[in-house]
Each structure stands twice: as structure tokens, then as C-alpha cells.
Structure 1
């Protein structure tokens, strides 16, 4: 498994309806992409659910590097680049993946937490703890949960999807996910290879 995300931080007065319309128009294009496990089309809106920014930030879990490279270099990635500019593309090597207690539900929001891997820690133990947290998020009611690491920046990312709950009523804080991090709304989920993502620890 390979995790990937890029973010477009947009002006404070940007009409986020443009992002919603764009995803509604093109989101289906990766619904059958070979090599893709999961793509979540994610959005944060300034002033909503504590977000300080307007941001569009798709997050991917890839089954194959070939599928990821075909997306990046085969033309599909040129679309968001043309619309929003060329972003930095973060990549992390997979540590763990688990289907959650709510795996059959449609995700309404995602939680992403990035954290440094501190100097001086025992790496095997630190990564084992990340695997354990992934399993705990899955057991706590996530749709799915994953962890991955960037060994250049020494950054760990936890990513989890959560079901509708009270989202439509604007009361998500009373049914909040049991995860810390940045909260994103899920606009669309493409999951052609979700059933082929390896479960558990990735080594």
C-alpha cells in the first residue's frame, strides 16, 4: 500500500461550490482505475467544523505504484493542475490498513493526522504503536483506517473515514469520530481496489 495526498489551499472568499461541482462532474473518472485502492475527494471549508482554510485535498491509498504513476504521468493529474496549479504531492509508505466496524457505510468525513517521528525513538516500537492505533480506530467505528510513513521527512500519517452520523443535521460534534486531526468532508469515494488492499501490518 502507498498513500498519497495533495492539497489546494484556496482564497478565504473562494466559492467552495466550485469544488463540489467539479467533483460531481469528474469524481467518477477514477471509479475503475487499475491499481487504485481508494481515492477520497476531500474538502475543508473555512469557518466550518473548525477549519481555518478553504482547501481541496484528495487522499489516495494505492495498491500499485504503476497505478499511481499512470495517474500522475498519464494525463489524469493534469486536470487538477490546470484548474488549481501544481501542488506538492506528499507520499507515504504504507504501515497498516484495516476495514472498520462501519465498513459497509458510506463515509461522510475523513480525519487526517500528520505527526513527526521523533528523534531517538525505537522505530520498531513506534511503528508497532501506529499499527495498533490503526486497529483501534477501525474497532472504534471507522469505515476504514490506515497509517503510513514518509521516511525522508520522518512523518507519520493516520487516515480514517467515518460514516454519516449526524452530519446532515450539522451536529457532527455530538457524534464525532474517535480520532484526532484535520477534519475533511468526503465529496466522493472511488474504491475500485479497496477489497485488494492488504489488511493489517504491512511488513
Structure 2
């Protein structure tokens, strides 16, 4: 499985209702997309939940790379985003763990994404094991829709994502730039067919 995200940072005075309308009218187009685990349509709004920026930052879990490839360059939808906003850099991580939470049947409304470097000299296996254990513990928390852990072996960076079916309480203060809170406008779920 492959996790993927791109971020489109928008001007400080950007009318975020444009993004909300885009997702309202187009979000359903990826419902049932072959090979997609899920696409969480994520936004950050300047001044909301401590965000310093406006951003549209969808996060994907792909069950297979064939579906991801169809989406990115096979006419599966990414071209429309590129036509409207330009081509963003697309980050990807190898998924090492995914778990459903007790609120799996409710639609998620909030996402917390944490990026964590695997320090030079540290054993990546230990970092992955620790992150998996933390995600599994979080997955049992009331209100959690699902958790995910993935690793970028180029940057040696872990991404930990938790989708919440209710507004998540702010965590303890984190170092700047490592934890981002998002609102979820829609969740598309795919099929396991390739």
C-alpha cells in the first residue's frame, strides 16, 4: 500500500468556499475508484485550529500502485487539479500499518498528520515498531475513524495520520512544522479491484 499527499498552499485572503464547492461537486468522482483505499479531502484555513495558512492537501491511501498511476497520469482525475492549480509535488510513503478505530462507521471530520524524522544512526525498524504501537493504541481511542503509519525511505521520515469522526482535541504543543490539523470535507473510498 502507498500513502500519498500533495499540498496546494493558497493566498492568505483566498476564499476557501471555492475549495469547499470544488469538493462538494467533484469529491464523489473518486468514490469507488479501483485501487483506492481512501482519499481524505483535507483543508487548512488560516486562523482556524492554529493554521497559519490556507491549504488544500488531499491525503490518499492506495491499495495498489496501478490505481495510483491511473489517477496521476492515466486520466483518473489529477489532470483537472493540474489544470486549475498547476502541478504540485506529490509526496509518497510506503504504508507500514493501518488500523480502523471505534468510529469507523461514522464519517471523519478532522485529521491530524504528524511527520517524524528517523534520526541518522537510528534503526528504522525500531522507529517503525514504535510508530505502529502508537498508532495501534490511538486506533482504540473513542472517536477515531482510522490510523495510518507510512515511511519515506528517501527522506527517512514517518508520516502518522489519524482521522477523527469528531473534532479532535488539540494535542500537547509540538515542535513547529511537525504536526498539522486539517478539516475533512469528504472521504472517498475505493474498491480493492485493480
TM over 0.5: yes
- Residue 50 of structure 1 corresponds to which residue in structure 2? 50
- Residue 4 of structure 2 corresponds to which residue in structure 1? 4
Alignment of 1:17-96 (within 5 A): 17-75=17-75, 76-96=77-97
> Where in structure 1 are there 5+ consecutive unaligned residues?
165-171, 197-203
- Residue 114 of structure 2 corresponds to which residue in structure 1? 113
1:186 to 179, 184, 187: 184
1:162 aligns with 2:160: no
> Where in structure 2 are there 5+ consecutive unaligned residues?
none
Residue 192 (structure 1) shift: 2.2
CA distance in 1, matches of 2:119, 2:80: 37
CA distance in 1, matches of 2:123, 2:78: 37
CA distance in 2, matches of 1:41, 1:112: 13
Q: Could you list the per-position Cα deviations for residues 55-85 of structure 1 after superposition, in whole angstroms to 9, with x for gaps in the alignment?
A: 0000000000000000001121011111111
Residue 120 (structure 1) shift: 1.2
Residue 104 (structure 1) shift: 1.4
Check conservation: 1:162, 1:177, Cα contact below 8 A.
no
Provide the secondary structure at the position in 2 that maps to 1:29: helix
Residue 178 (structure 1) shift: 6.0
Provide the secondary structure at the position in 1 that maps to 2:42: strand
Check conservation: 1:138, 1:145, Cα contact below 8 A.
yes
Check conservation: 1:8, 1:87, Cα contact below 8 A.
yes
Residue 177 (structure 1) shift: 6.2
1:138 aligns with 2:103: no
TM-score by length of 1: 0.87
The count of residues paired between Structure 1 and Structure 2 equals 185
TM-score by length of 2: 0.91
CA distance in 2, matches of 1:22, 1:123: 39
- Residue 200 of structure 1 corresponds to which residue in structure 2? none
CA distance in 1, matches of 2:150, 2:74: 25
CA distance in 2, matches of 1:128, 1:178: 22
